[in-house]
Amino acid sequence: QVQLVESGGGLVQPGGSLKISCEAAGSGFDINTLAWYRAPPGRQRELVAYIKGVGQTSYRDSVAGRFTNSTDKAKNTVYHQMERQKPEDTAIYYCNAFPTATLQWGQGTHVTVSA
């Protein structure tokens, strides 16, 4: 019923910025339950950020202060603005429900931070 479509990834230099999107295509889904996950090369998926409430997002320590989450209800989309990116941010970024990832995983969007 709900298809997750991530987009906006690409190559960015260290210290650069990138904004990625996750559209939840479908009806009857609360995008406030969506969280961002990422899978660094050769590693398991890890939680990046989740929405605690309206205008409130919890971030993992390694990205806090650099990443900013936002939502657009009309577009059923969540955004992730990534600033001052580091090579360790290189990963495939996914969105899914939180605290349990009950939706089918999308293809993710690849983010590569390299000079």
Q: Which residues contact 42 (CB under 8 A, 6 or more apart)?
A: none
Is 91 within 8 Å of 108 (Cβ atoms)?
A: no
> What b-and-e string marks burial along 82-114, b requiring 16 or more CB atoms within 10 Å of the CB?
beebeeebbbbbbbbbbeebebeebebbebbbe
Query: Using CA atoms, how far apart are residues 90 and 92, in angstroms rounded to an integer?
Result: 7
Q: Going residue by residue through the chain (115 aa), what tens digit of pLDDT does each one get?
A: 899 999 999 999 999 999 999 999 987 788 999 999 999 999 999 999 999 988 899 999 999 999 999 999 999 999 999 999 999 999 999 999 999 999 999 999 999 999 9
